[in-house]
Chain A
Amino acid sequence: MSCHETHELIHGYVDGELDLVRSMEIEEHLRDCHACTQSYKGIRSLRSVISDGALRFDPPANFERRLRSTLRRESEPQRRSIILRWRWVLVGTSLIAAVIVIWVVAGIFGRPSTGDLVAEEIVSSHVRSLMADHLTDVPSSDRHTVKPWFDGKLDFSPPVKDLSQQGFNLNGGRLDYIGNRRVAALVYQRGKHSINVFVWPSSGAAPINEKASVHQGYNLIRWTNAGMTYWVVSDLNLAELQQFAQLLQESQALS
């Protein structure tokens, strides 16, 4: 290798960047060439002077800490976006939950309530009693006949009132089956309209005020009083039926 070639490659040699063949050629040249060897030593000594750690600038003591917090702050919007994303996930889940709740609740309320089911049974029972000519088991206008008839047939004694003076004649009584239990059915007559009064012991002790409703064209009024639940059903107009219900309650209060 010539001096010229060596000059071109000497820095690569010093820096260990030459391949083995070139390195060996340079070493061979350096053995014979004093000038190139001096040059090589010069570069070596310069390198050692510069790579002396004293020339290196170290970051200030707290720089890394400050930089770290700056980087964290910079990541903040991203973190916020995560929170935001989570917030949306939360909103989404809440919405789904709300929909489920509404669906369930609507399902519950959409389904006929217990009262509605009872009302249906009562109307059916009322209609059946009229159709099958099975209005009464104990046909009697005498409440002292009707009331004792229930003894032994029911685990309770239904109050039986005589309201004939008010235009509601007692026709008799009947055993019936409502809401999976035996109940007393008292039959009254208003003109050509039959009135069924269903009575059974209420589950709750608290009295419940009159509630009127209409099912399949029949008027229904129900209430709870003195531990008994009353359902009154008839094709009689609501005003008169309410009057009847009122009389029934008053006479109950009196008795």
Chain B
Amino acid sequence: MPDQSKAVRFEEIALPHLGAAYNLARWLLHNEHDAEDVVQEAYLRALKSFSGYYGGDSRSWLMTIVRNTCYTWLQKNRALRLSDPIEDKLDGVGLDFADPEMILLQSADSQMVRQALQELPVEFREVMVLREMEDLSYKEIADIVDVPIGTVMSRLARGRKRLQALLAKHMGKEAGIELPRNA
């Protein structure tokens, strides 16, 4: 493959996923400029390793590189600390959603949800972003994050529970209600 057509082919394959790539980077890094830098770096990395890409799911391929570049950046610049030992278990997760106040979420404005999502530990945040915003399947998320599919589901479950709790807290504050428990 001539280098010229390789570069063109790379653009054709990688640039359509720029929106997803930027959104993930932006959610993981919190900052517009950092997101741009990291996405650019990820694309350059992808370009370099493009000869190793033999078709397949181009989005998963690219998003894996973007996600890993984000983590590298976080480790270097933010002393990335996985928030807490992730309990990838589902016990008791589902029931919380039955709490009456959770139904109030529908009235939460996007700014509030955005803030709550930002507060989520990065491991939950990434699966939430990939699932809810990019509409990726468990399998695709598992490939990108490099965990088993079961872990994707449990992280989604825990992330949703935490997010709901955070939202409830924010809404409670706004409404002047002190909620008795935390996430």
When the two chains form their complex, are residues A45 and B106 in contact, meaning their CB atoms are under 8 A apart? yes
Residues of B contacting A115 in the complex (Cβ-Cβ under 8 angstroms): none
**Residue of B whose beta carbon sits closest to that of A50:** B132
Residue B123, interface by CB 8 Å: no
Binding stretch for chain B, among A32-40, A205-213, A221-229: A32-40
Asked whether, in the complex, the Cβ of A35 is within 8 Å of the Cβ of B98, the reply is: yes
Size category, A interface: 35 or more
- For B, the interface residue count at a CB cutoff of 8 angstroms equals 56
Interface presence of A109 (CB below 8 A): no
Binary CB contact string for chain A from 40 to 65 against chain B (1 if under 8 A, 0 otherwise): 11110111111110111111100110
Chain A residues, Cβ within 8 Å of B91: 7
**Among A72-80, A91-99, A161-169, A172-180, which stretch is in contact with chain B?**
A72-80
Cross-interface CB contact of B22 among A48, A58, A68, A71, cutoff 8 Å? A58
Q: Is B86 part of the binding interface, using a Cβ–Cβ cutoff of 8 Å?
A: no
Choose from A51, A58, A81 the contact partner of B3 (Cβ within 8 Å): A81
- How close is A33's CB to chain B, nearest CB, in angstroms? 10
Q: Is the CB of A39 within 8 A of B96?
A: yes
Cα–Cα, bound, A50→B114 (Å): 8
Q: Are B131 and A15 in contact (CB under 8 A)?
A: yes
A-side contacts of B10, CB under 8 Å = 71
Would you call A67 an interface residue if the criterion is a C-beta within 8 Å of the partner chain's C-beta atoms? yes
Contact at A50–B128, with CB atoms within 8 Å? Answer: yes
Main secondary structure of the interface of A (DSSP, over half): helix
In the complex, A64 Cα to B97 Cα: how many Å?
40
Using A43-B160, A46-B160, A75-B47 as known contacts, say yes or no to A7 and B32 having CB atoms under 8 A apart.
no
B18 in contact (CB, < 8 A): yes
Once the chains are docked, how many angstroms separate the CA of A40 from the CA of B23? Answer: 27
Contacts of B117 in A (CB 8 A): 50, 55
Report yes or no: B15 in contact with A64, Cβ–Cβ below 8 A. Answer: yes
- Residues of A contacting B113 with CB < 8 Å? 49-50, 52, 55
Contact with A along B97-115 (1 / 0, CB 8 A): 1111011011010100110
- Hey, which chain A residues are within 8 Å of B6, CB to CB? 75, 78
CB of B27 within 8 A of CB of A39, answer: no
Min CB–CB distance B125 → chain A (angstroms): 11
A48, A49, A51, A70: residue with the most chain B Cβ atoms closer than 10 Å = A49
Interface residues of A (CB under 8 A from B): 6-8, 10-12, 15, 17, 35-36, 38-43, 45-52, 54-60, 63-64, 66-68, 70-72, 74-75, 78-79, 81-82
Known: A8-B90, A50-B133, A57-B23. 11 other contacts (CB 8 A): A42-B102, A43-B97, A43-B160, A49-B110, A50-B163, A55-B117, A64-B18, A68-B11, A70-B44, A71-B7, A71-B43
